[in-house]
Amino acid sequence: MKNRMKKLIPVMLAAIVFAGNLAGTTQVQASEIESRTLDIYDAEVPAVEENISSDGMRGAAQVPSAYHNTTAELHALYPATRSQGNYNTCWAFSGVGLAEFDLITDDKVADKSIDLSELQAAYFTYHSVDDAFGGMLADDVSLLSGNYMSSGGNMYYLSRALMQWKGLVRESDAPYTNVTRTISDSLAYQKDVAHLQNVYLMNIHKNPSSVKKAIIAHGAASIGFKAVDKNVYDQMAYYGPEGGMVATYRCDKKATVDHQAIVVGWDDNFPASAFKYPAKKNGAWLVRNSWSDLSDNSYYSYFWMSYEDASLEDAAWVFDFEPGDNYDYNYQYDGAVYAYKVKSYPKEANVFWVKGSANQQLRAVSISMMQDANVPYTIKIYTNIASAKKPTSGILAAKVTGKTSYAGVYTIPLKKAVSIPKGTKYAVVVEFNKKNKGVDMECSGKNQHLSITAFSDYGQSFVYSNGSWRDLADLSEYTGIGNLCIKAYTDKTGTSIGKVKSVRAKAGKTSMRISWSKVASAKTYEVYRATSEKGTYKKVAIVKGKHYTDKKLSKGKTYYYKVRACKTNGKKSVAGALSDVKKATTKR
């Protein structure tokens, strides 16, 4: 039942100042990065306005007074309850329960026969495995005492591991009956059938309606509470909708949280008198426990928890999964299982190198903000990065704006997929217009039970400070910080197109005629312009022919041009590599 690894030491960033210059100009102080202990449950879960429309929950605007409030309803739709046995793995059972309920309720790609592996989820939360592209190299999480079945855990660590696409897999691939064996590293990434794409962290006390909407949309929400006091859960009470006796639970005073389970329903009119310690008001959550596989009305399977339970912590976790074939690749650097907020920077970015044997299309990005709610953001995608020290030194290929609702992790689809040729670099730049807002950054930490190592290499993660970009690798060695929690999701295009050659320019006073050689199978050509060779190239035209006249230019000014060929492959647009730079100056 134990689900916490408490009191990991603070990452002492506030006392550290990096004395050297980043990119040769400005000093960066580690105090600009928010410091806090690795015990994330001491953090306040931000509340939101109840009338907002959350991502993934727009169809759940009306909240009924009761929902899924009988075991008969749950038996008809969802898998039976499962037993964690004599192991401290309630957190893994809770997370897998969220996945199964979401895939049935939200994605509608599963039924109650679904059975995913809690063992695999627990194992790879505490065992680091390099991803296919090596982006998380040198990041590590290791148990220093005990083992992954007995040491406990929490939803925060689990969500970080699952966002890395380490699972989930089928129960048959890693059955819970084999708890003593070492699991093959191949089960980290190669047999995943579901990917965690969004995490919503809600305040169940301040935003109960939001939690209810999430249950309607995703099937369940995970909660933490005090579970081992038999004096508060041995009450049986008659409940009319069930047509018989049900188990009830209410802790009447604050207590240390030691267990994780999932809420699957509620009844606002559940009698306050039905609890051993009667509540002041009616209302209770229907909780699915992981201490029995009987799916009955008992504290071990399904029981009712009063809205006024004093041990219930603020955090309610909602996981939004997608099928495991949703994207081909997950570009990422944040392999540690702990992170904290970066503050005071208006722009933050990750730069990725296109790996694999084929050209790809960037379809979505992910940003993590576990401590902040209601954050406006702008995401810009730059391709064909020219300078290793400047994420914006390429083509501005896409822009999307939005606003988060709850604290959490968000996968944000691009309006149109962006072609990224193999062997090139692209950047995901996140901009904020509110102070003290920013994406999370992985960090290192250690106590007597657990060691977490985070590392950032050069050319990966950047922050924008005092008018220039700073590489976080300059701070990594001294502070134990790692990379920004920004990911990118791509698909293979399965085809390619040649590079444009022989670009020519003929200058006029206020115009420039650009021409080039034909590329086989090209349907269109994209023309890009910049005012410096390694500046930001903006798309100025899409043409079908082999030339374009750029007008309304300034006299006597130098311009830089690049051209690339494009074609379609089914419904996918495929872009080739950019041409070499063509420099030309207009006449005076």
Tell me the C-alpha distance between 524 and 76, whole Å. 54
- In the numeric block, the tokens 């084999």 are attached to 178
Q: 302 - beta bridge partners?
A: 288, 297
**How sure is the predictor about 101, in pLDDT bands with cuts at 50, 70 and 90?**
very high
Does residue 52 fall inside a structural domain?
Answer: no
- 309 shares its domain with 353: no
DSSP 475-492: HHHHH-EEEE-EEEEEEE
What percentage of the chain has pLDDT greater than the value 90? 72
Integer Rg of the chain from CA: 26
Residue 576: the pLDDT is: 84
- 392 shares its domain with 508: no
If you average pLDDT over every residue of the chain, what do you get?
88
- 378 shares its domain with 458: yes
Does residue 46 fall inside a structural domain?
Answer: no
Tell me the C-alpha distance between 368 and 348, whole Å. 12
Tell me the C-alpha distance between 568 and 111, whole Å. 37
Q: Is the pLDDT of residue 520 over 90?
A: no
Per-residue pLDDT tens digits for 245-301: 999 999 988 988 999 999 999 999 999 999 998 999 999 999 999 999 999 999 999
Tally of domains within the chain: 3
Q: Is the pLDDT of residue 139 over 90?
A: yes
- 307 shares its domain with 445: no
Q: Is the pLDDT of residue 29 over 70?
A: no
Tell me the C-alpha distance between 484 and 365, whole Å. 13
- 220 shares its domain with 349: no
3-state helix, strand, coil in the chain (%, to 5): 15, 35, 50
Per-residue pLDDT tens digits for 359-416: 899 999 999 999 999 999 999 999 999 999 999 999 999 999 999 999 999 999 999 9
pTM: 0.86
- 468 shares its domain with 359: yes
For 225, the 3-state DSSP assignment is strand
> In degrees rounded to 5, what are phi and psi of residue 584?
-155, 150
Does residue 497 fall inside a structural domain?
Answer: no
Does residue 168 fall inside a structural domain?
Answer: yes
- 425 shares its domain with 545: no
- Residue 527 sits in a domain of what CATH number? 2.60.40.10
Tell me the C-alpha distance between 97 and 262, whole Å. 7
- 199 shares its domain with 310: yes
- 480 shares its domain with 562: no
Residue 58: the pLDDT is: 45
Q: 507 - beta bridge partners?
A: 512
What percentage of the chain has pLDDT greater than the value 70? 89
**Contact of 541 with 526, CB cutoff 8 Å:** yes
Per-residue pLDDT tens digits for 151-186: 889 999 999 999 999 999 999 999 998 887 789 999
- 98 shares its domain with 132: yes
Mean pLDDT of 449-473: 93
- 525 shares its domain with 453: no
**Contact of 264 with 301, CB cutoff 8 Å:** no
Tell me the C-alpha distance between 525 and 515, whole Å. 11
Q: How far is CA 495 from CA 175, 343, 447, 509, in A?
A: 39, 41, 50, 41
Q: Is the pLDDT of residue 45 over 50?
A: yes
Domain boundary (319, 352, 373) is at: 319
Residue 163: the pLDDT is: 98
Q: Is the pLDDT of residue 302 over 60?
A: yes
- Residue 21 sits in a domain of what CATH number? 2.60.120
**How sure is the predictor about 51, in pLDDT bands with cuts at 50, 70 and 90?**
low
Q: Is the pLDDT of residue 43 over 70?
A: no
Nearest to 207 by CA among 43, 52, 376, 370: 52
Per-residue pLDDT tens digits for 466-508: 899 999 999 887 788 999 999 999 998 877 788 899 999 999 9
When mean pLDDT is compared across 18-32, 324-338, 350-364, 526-540, the lowest value belongs to 18-32
Domain boundary (286, 319, 352) is at: 319
Does residue 291 fall inside a structural domain?
Answer: yes
Q: Tokens at residue 266, please?
A: 């509620």
Does residue 328 fall inside a structural domain?
Answer: no
Amino acid at site 4: R
533 lies in which domain range?
504-585
Tell me the C-alpha distance between 316 and 122, whole Å. 20
- Residue 244 sits in a domain of what CATH number? 3.90.70.10
Residue 342: the pLDDT is: 82
- 107 shares its domain with 29: no
Does residue 77 fall inside a structural domain?
Answer: yes
Tell me the C-alpha distance between 545 and 237, whole Å. 78
Domain boundary (492, 522, 555) is at: 492
Does residue 329 fall inside a structural domain?
Answer: no
Chain length of the chain: 588
